[in-house]
Amino acid sequence: MKSANFFNDVYEVVRLVPKGRVTTYGAIAAYLGSKGSARMVGWAMNNAHSYNDVPAHRVVNRVGLLTGKHHFAGPNRMQELLEKEGIEVVNDKIAGFKERFWDPSAELAL
């Protein structure tokens, strides 16, 4: 899956996150072979809003917090999108995060 464009690689992974599941910046970075690049994945996600087919709302921080919510069109838009998929959010955090977590390294073959 690796290409010359890290952001595009991130978007390809995010497009594979199933509805009703979430992943993390760090899990995506690790899958792409850049374990210490969670922040770079965050930058890619900040830029993802120009792509309608990248479900950026499914990417959260390592403990399930909606840290990217301020990049959505409205303060509650990220939460609304997650709740539409059946994910409960309490105080900006995914309820039952461990059960909802989708790990690309475990789910996708390299």
Could you give all domains of the chain from N- to C-terminal order, each with its CATH number?
Answer: 6-99 (1.10.10.10)
Up-side HSE of residue 86: CA atoms within 13 Å toward CB?
A: 6
Lookup result for tokens 């374990």:
35
Compute the distance between CA of residue 79 and CA of residue 77 in angstroms, rounded to an integer.
5
pTM of the model: 0.93
pLDDT digit of tens for each residue in the chain (110 aa)?
Answer: 555 699 999 999 999 999 999 999 999 999 999 998 999 999 999 999 889 999 999 999 999 999 999 889 888 999 999 999 999 999 999 999 999 999 999 999 75
Give the per-residue pLDDT at 26.
97
Give the per-residue pLDDT at 4.
66
Give the per-residue pLDDT at 109.
72
